[in-house]
Amino acid sequence: MLTSKSQEEIDLNTSNQIATLETKLMQIHNVTMDEALDSVRQLSTSQALETVVTPNIDHMARLSQKDVSPQFLQVYQEASLCLCDSKILDKLMRMKGMRVQEVITGSTLTANLFEKVLNKQDVIMIVGGSEAVIEQLRLKYPDLVIKHYNPPMGFIDKPDEVEKAISVIEESNANFFFLAVGSPRQEILAKKLQERGNTKGVALCIGASILFLVGEEKRAPVWVQKISMEWFYRMMQDPKRLASRYGKNFLNLPLIYRNI
């Protein structure tokens, strides 16, 4: 884990100096959206595999547990770019005297990359999501080279399926990797790719961001986002899946606060 103190300037493997905020679990890079986009573009030229993560309250709740997966935690601690994804996390950080310039969600970052950064010289590999969703993405961005692999459910616990996924990713020769298989699977996959050392560029752990990008899932209205209630909006869209998760996250807020 990087050891700089709050707001200390670091290199971040790019030509820019980027400020950080130091929490007990990880460093949050304190950047604007434009700075984040510039950093991701530069990371895509790396001769190693760099990682981008966007911790939210759900991530922080799991990262705060005593039995947290070491690989899962390590990805956040060693990420080339770690961005605050949550207005609630932002508020908790402010209570500890830390203020991010901008809350940057994974879905907004992904959308901006596709709209403003990616071009026809890039090779994009998306891991996760149905072929139908990826076809929608290709129709939306016809000039981009988009490759795709969707590993089977539960693949991360099956060594042969992990090996297959890694081989497909390595053979893609991409420089942008969007890992969309859910957390902590996408983070663990990113770590395994780094350990193999055969992939270069930037891997972004993006969850459901592609679904938002093509309109398969809807983000909350802007006014709901501004009042920090997007989590509630999402829960109401899928209460069976999310109510229990968000309830546990609420109960874990004191633990999260102690780890900031």
- Per-residue model confidence as pLDDT tens digits over 219-238: 778 787 777 777 777 778 88
Q: What is the pLDDT of residue 12?
A: 47
- Taking each helix axis from N to C terminus, what angle separates 185-196 and 70-78, rounded to the nearest 10 degrees? 70
Q: What is the pLDDT of residue 232?
A: 78
Q: What is the pLDDT of residue 234?
A: 74
Q: What is the pLDDT of residue 2?
A: 38
Q: What is the pLDDT of residue 100?
A: 97
Burial 157-169 (b: 16+ CB within 10 A, else e): eeeeebeebbeeb
Burial class of residue 50 (count of CB atoms within 10 Å of its CB; 0-12, 13-18, 19+)? buried
Q: What is the pLDDT of residue 244?
A: 85
pTM for the structure as a whole: 0.89
Q: What is the pLDDT of residue 1?
A: 37
Q: What is the pLDDT of residue 30?
A: 98
Asked whether residue 3 carries a pLDDT value surpassing 60, the answer given is no
Q: What is the pLDDT of residue 240?
A: 81
Mean pLDDT in the chain? 91
Q: What is the pLDDT of residue 233?
A: 77
Asked whether residue 7 carries a pLDDT value surpassing 70, the answer given is no
pLDDT digits (tens, 9 = 90+) for 172-184: 999 999 999 999 9
Q: What is the pLDDT of residue 59?
A: 97
Asked whether residue 38 carries a pLDDT value surpassing 90, the answer given is yes
- The mean per-residue pLDDT over the stretch 39-61 comes to 98
Token pair listed for 75 = 């990805």
pLDDT digits (tens, 9 = 90+) for 117-166: 999 999 999 999 999 999 999 999 999 999 999 999 999 999 999 999 99
- The mean per-residue pLDDT over the stretch 22-30 comes to 97
**More confident position, 229 or 109:** 109
Q: Which residue has the tokens 């209570």?
A: 95
Asked whether residue 60 carries a pLDDT value surpassing 50, the answer given is yes
Q: Kindly list the domain boundaries of the chain, sorted by start residue.
A: 1-260
Cα–Cα dist 37/21, whole Å: 19
- The mean per-residue pLDDT over the stretch 78-88 comes to 97
The neighbour count for residue 183, using CB atoms within 10 Å, is: 20
| Reported confidence tier of residue 81, pLDDT bands at 50, 70, 90 | very high
Burial class of residue 87 (count of CB atoms within 10 Å of its CB; 0-12, 13-18, 19+)? buried
